[in-house]
Structure 1
Amino acid sequence: MEDLTREDFERNMNILVETMEQGKLIFPQGFSGDSLLRVRKAPNGRIDFLTVDEGARLNANMMAWTNDDFFEELNASVEADNNDNE
Structure 2
Amino acid sequence: MYAETDFFLALLKERDWLKKNAEQIYKKHKGKIWTSTHTLMELILLAYRDGKDPLEMVEGASNLVEVREPKIGVNGFIYLHVM
TM-score (ref. length: structure 2):
0.24
TM-score (ref. length: structure 1):
0.24
